[in-house]
Structure 1
Amino acid sequence: MSKPNIIVFFTDQQRHDTTGVHGNPMGLTPNFDRIARSGTHLYHSFSTQPLCGPARATMQTGQFSTQTGVFRNGITLSEDAETMAKVFNRNGYSTGYIGKWHLGGADPVPKNMRGGYQSWLGANLVEHISDAYDAILFDEDGNPKKLPGYRVDAVTDAAIRYCNTHQDDPFMLFVSLLEPHHQNHIDDYPAPDGYREACAANLWTPPDLMTYKGTSPWQLSGYYGMVKRIDEAFGRLMDALKSLDMLDNTIVLFTTDHGCHFKTRNDEYKRACHESAVRIPTLITGPGFNAGGQVRGLFGTVDVAPTLIDAAGLEVPNSMVGKSVLPLVRDARAPWRQDLFFQISETETGRALRTHRWKYGVTSDYDRHHAGAEIYRESYLYDLDTDPYELVNLIGMAPFRELADQLKERLLAWIAEVEDGSRPVIENAAEVPAGQHRLKATDLMALQQYERLGLGNGVSEGTAKRRA
């Protein structure tokens, strides 16, 4: 079999619950839903750093943000960074990038700051140089190119043209939309004409936004309109691959950089480790992923590059600490992590840990010059089984102290593994009344069982082995 083509269809700031397979009843994403069901749906998929630049650096390198050095916006990805584009280049692939980059420092992005991608039609900050109906990107020589149509369609059309002209050689193409990110100069979500009104007539509001609202009362319908057009564009791309007889030999991954909490968790849209900001929609289809079903392992942006490289039959570089999900797709019993680590280093300095049931987070005073802190304080604990939208904070309640202590140790293990042995102090939250909230003994026993199996901590299997 010839080498499979690889396409990443990448959106910006898209909540997981915009999709039907995650419970949205509005019918915004029929293409995503259909392909997720027929391919592989990574049900528990997360941004390990919910901010544009850091998330993108993590996705390109398979490293956490403190490892790439891109721990906040405004930091460029090192020219020497090992990226998935460079891996595919070395293995006979043509590589192309279309759309928003946000890792190059300036527009137009210099060739040496493009992460190794050979073909280029992109911009560092699309949100600042273009608009919904004024799509502008820069070509390989740095010349501005105005693309016709609504921006989602313009970028997708360019991707289809790339596929059409690369039918005879294996390629890896990264298609990076701005939508459904807000348009910065108006701080709003400009949907295609008529889409905002159509969505407003049938609007569903997630429970966290129903409770805290933020900016969602006047922005959610436009945001949904953008998501609907994205899904239509995704369908057109898949139709183009079908018409070019390329579906059977093309792996397509749909994902995003982070979600959107509509200024409910802080004074902007992401930069928080709550589910609304970190949980994202992700599917993979094509060779090795068709009929993969719903995979419930905890998958992060750090795993994207290793997964795609592995799926192409190539060797994953040792520098990539993320893991290929392909073994789990093949066999649901394959070993996989039981918790996932999050970092945030802009607007606040924070760390968080998520198991299948619990979310535990700590924060420190924000220092833009440092990625981490020496002292953190407990900020939140959520039971995601009963409170999936994180509306009831259990931190500081006496019945959950032992649980929080165990999660603290697991979080510290991640920090030590990812952040060069760092061992910060995490101060306990002040005690607050527990009311009727209690923890069953069996709940704590389940968490302890993960520890005994060596499944609870760390990026690699080596961590558990060193502790045995």
Structure 2
Amino acid sequence: MKNKFRITFYHYLLLVCILTFGVSCSEKKKETVVESQETSRPNVLVILTDQWRAQATGYAGDPNVNTPNLDELAATSVNFKNAVSGMPVCSPFRASLLTGQRPLTHGVFMNDVQLDTNAVTIAKVFNKEGYDTGYIGKWHLDGHGRLQNVAPGKRRQGFKFWKGNECTHDYNESVYYDNDDPDRKIWDSYDTFEQTDAAIDYIKNRNSSENPYMMILSYGTPHAPYHTAPEEYRNRFDPAKIKLRRNVPDNLKEQAKKDLAGYYAHIAALDDMIGKLIKNLKDSGQYDNTIIVFTADHGDLLGSHGAYKKQQPYEESARVPMLYHIPEKLKIATGERDALMNSEDIMPTLLSLCDITIPDTVEGIDYRPYLEGKEQVGQYTLLTCVQPFGQWNKVQHGGREYRAIITQQYTYARSLSGPWLLFDNKIDPYQLNNLVGNEGYTSVQDDMEKLLSQRLKETGDEFLPGLEYIKKWGYPIDETGTVPYTN
């Protein structure tokens, strides 16, 4: 009995030692991870959505949709509440995101044209700094037709990991190509789900890499077709209960309610997937050392001002969500910011936050000093549209070529014919009252015209007819004298 007790007692002491040692090791491991994250370069995850207008989130006050995961992200992020898409259409925004340049510089001022494969892109710069780079989802920068593979090499603009395609909006039979495999593949289900899982796999695999990563996850939703989200999400939204914005005309109200119900279904699914992404970042220990940017390439009018989709300078088209979740070690306060961050500003800001030298080719603003409270920038920004054609900018729908300047209070747009729009966005957030020619706003209009002219001079923009730019860049013109243009 004595020996039995002695063995048991020794076992007990051994167990205590093991547990104590294990806890100590665990704590040391946690401390090592924390210390490592304090000194290591941050990861970068850009969550890019297609056609998600800034007004359509819970944190922005939309009464129709709950976005709890985005709301939680917004609560721990910098929210550029006045951010815009400098040319509110798909390919131009994407090219500006990748190059830090304005559309008339990089040449992608319309959809379905190729970004110069020699461009200095965000992926190429991060590669040189030892980052792993990846891209998942919709590309829309290759200009060689829909659904096809963007071949490995220069056409992928520096991204090493690849699961995507040029462009498709068939979200339930979505085509993609897997890295160097030339065979066409199909995501098994709703591609928003599948692309999220692919991103999570990529993130998990980075745990074994010594390098930080920069990845862009590019969703095709909530872009039309509006009614193709999974049924469980579509069932959440009754068109009859949708509350419309006050600038939707009577003749479009019924259609807009139906389409918004589907639009919000896509958004609800995206919100769940963003929550899933963030949970996995936390579970993998990477959340506290990852810069997360959530944004969209442009908005969607969805009936506002009697029009649909994008390109026009109205709030629903031009404003985009722009959240920056930044690791605490960078000591940048969270909360709303008034500055009008634009498309070309994303690349230099991310490079700066990662302590990477910004290339001379970049035209955008580095917002890090602003975020640190050292500078005041972004009091105004430029919108550009060179297209006198296109599904969403037809003259019969009120569209035209324009240049616009946006401040924190006003939107002013000039067409080739002269002053076109002037809105006081603070007292008229739905932009129902065009103040061009209004005697009470003569001085405001003059000031905005001077500011716009100054900005055009600074950027070397002569504001020529759109076809002049198309000829300059050698883009194809069909027998009618216009450019074949798709969405």
Q: State the TM-score, normalized to the length of structure 2.
A: 0.79
Show the 5 A alignment for 1:205-224. Answer: 205-209=244-248, 213=252, 215-224=255-264
Indicate the residue corresponding to 1:182 in structure 2.
224
2:265 counterpart letter in structure 1: G
Q: Which runs of 5+ in 1 are unaligned?
A: 365-375, 426-468
Indicate the residue corresponding to 2:40 in structure 1.
2
2:343 aligned to which of 288, 301, 315: 301
RMSD over aligned CA atoms reads 2.0
Is the Cα contact below 8 Å between 2:249 and 2:305 reproduced in 1?
Answer: no
2:167 counterpart letter in structure 1: L
Show the 5 A alignment for 1:193-272. Answer: 193-200=231-238, 202-209=241-248, 213=252, 215-265=255-305, 268-272=308-312
2:426 aligned to which of 377, 385, 391: 385
Show the 5 A alignment for 1:434-453. Answer: none
2:407 aligned to which of 346, 350, 355: 355
1:35 counterpart letter in structure 2: L
Identity of aligned residues (%): 31
Is the Cα contact below 8 Å between 1:254 and 1:283 reproduced in 2?
Answer: yes
| Superposition deviation, residue 210 in structure 1 | 6.4
Indicate the residue corresponding to 1:310 in structure 2.
352
Indicate the residue corresponding to 2:200 in structure 1.
160
Distance 1:330 1:189, change over 3 A: farther
Q: Distance in 2 between matches of 1:14 and 1:256?
A: 6
2:175 aligned to which of 136, 143, 147: 136
Cα distance per residue 1:272-328 (max 9 Å; x no partner) = 111110101111113237642111111111111111111111011121111122222
Indicate the residue corresponding to 1:436 in structure 2.
none
Asked if 1:20 is matched to 2:66, the reply is no
Asked if 1:403 is matched to 2:444, the reply is yes
Is the Cα contact below 8 Å between 1:119 and 1:140 reproduced in 2?
Answer: yes
Q: Distance in 1 between matches of 2:332 and 2:176?
A: 33
Indicate the residue corresponding to 2:111 in structure 1.
73
1:356 counterpart letter in structure 2: Q
Indicate the residue corresponding to 1:191 in structure 2.
229
Q: Distance in 2 between matches of 1:396 and 1:413?
A: 21
1:362 counterpart letter in structure 2: R
Secondary structure at 1:17 match in 2: coil
Indicate the residue corresponding to 1:145 in structure 2.
185
| Superposition deviation, residue 29 in structure 1 | 1.1
Is the Cα contact below 8 Å between 1:9 and 1:174 reproduced in 2?
Answer: yes
Q: Distance in 1 between matches of 2:162 and 2:140?
A: 14
Cα distance per residue 1:124-180 (max 9 Å; x no partner) = 1122xxx23223211223322222232211111111111111122211000000000
Indicate the residue corresponding to 2:326 in structure 1.
286
Q: Distance in 1 between matches of 2:368 and 2:92?
A: 24
Show the 5 A alignment for 1:297-376. Answer: 297-331=339-373, 334-346=375-387, 347=389, 348-364=400-416, 376=417
Q: Distance in 2 between matches of 1:285 and 1:43?
A: 14
| Superposition deviation, residue 206 in structure 1 | 2.3
2:407 counterpart letter in structure 1: T
Is the Cα contact below 8 Å between 2:46 and 2:217 reproduced in 1?
Answer: yes
Secondary structure at 1:11 match in 2: strand
Is the Cα contact below 8 Å between 1:273 and 1:361 reproduced in 2?
Answer: yes
Runs of 4+ in 1 over 6 A off after TM superposition: none
| Superposition deviation, residue 258 in structure 1 | 0.3
Is the Cα contact below 8 Å between 2:126 and 2:214 reproduced in 1?
Answer: yes
Q: Distance in 2 between matches of 1:80 and 1:211?
A: 49
| Superposition deviation, residue 31 in structure 1 | 1.0
Is the Cα contact below 8 Å between 2:75 and 2:335 reproduced in 1?
Answer: yes
Secondary structure at 2:377 match in 1: coil
| Superposition deviation, residue 45 in structure 1 | 1.0
Is the Cα contact below 8 Å between 2:413 and 2:421 reproduced in 1?
Answer: yes
Is the Cα contact below 8 Å between 2:332 and 2:371 reproduced in 1?
Answer: no
Indicate the larger mover: 343-352 or 73-82.
343-352
Structure number having the greater helix percentage: 2
1:54 counterpart letter in structure 2: P
Q: Which runs of 5+ in 2 are unaligned?
A: 1-38, 390-399, 466-487
Secondary structure at 1:155 match in 2: helix
Q: Distance in 1 between matches of 2:462 and 2:82?
A: 28
Is the Cα contact below 8 Å between 1:104 and 1:110 reproduced in 2?
Answer: no
Q: Distance in 1 between matches of 2:158 and 2:123?
A: 6
1:70 counterpart letter in structure 2: V
